[in-house]
Amino acid sequence: MDSKRLLGGVVGGLAGGILFGALMHMMGMLEMVAGLVGQDSTGVGWVVHLGISALFGIGYGLTLGAISRSWGHALGYGAVYGIVWWVLGALLILPARMGMPVFQIGEIQLQSLMGHILYGLTLGVVFQGFVRAGEGRQVASRA
């Protein structure tokens, strides 16, 4: 396992999670995230959201991060990754867990889509920067 990609995924996931979480906070959606663990507080929602963000970041780092070779890849793979997790998380897992209909698309779900894309773009770019910065240090230390 590549620890640089693992750590880059955590850092990128948390960066994307903070931005997406800020949007969710403004829309009052973090309480719904807290519902995943049977709670309803904003603070618990933040903890759950950032934990999920870091885990999804690790997933990106170990899968798509392995094939991301450019900033364009980072943006493209990140956006697609965010959309995939929107479908799985916002349209399937969260509503099913909350006893709501799955695969319903309305205004809230479309706002969530924008947040998931923002998350993925941020994750991809921060991950790429983290990995490239690490490569630069390795080259400098060999000189």
- The ranges assigned to domains in the chain are 3-138
Q: Is 94 a residue whose pLDDT tops 60?
A: yes
Per-residue pLDDT, 96:
93
66-90 pLDDT, tens digit per residue, is 899 999 999 999 999 999 999 999 9
This prediction's pTM: 0.89
Per-residue pLDDT, 2:
85
117-133 pLDDT, tens digit per residue, is 999 999 999 999 999 88
Supply 93's token pair: 């897992």
Residue 60: strand, helix, or coil: helix
Q: Is 138 a residue whose pLDDT tops 70?
A: no
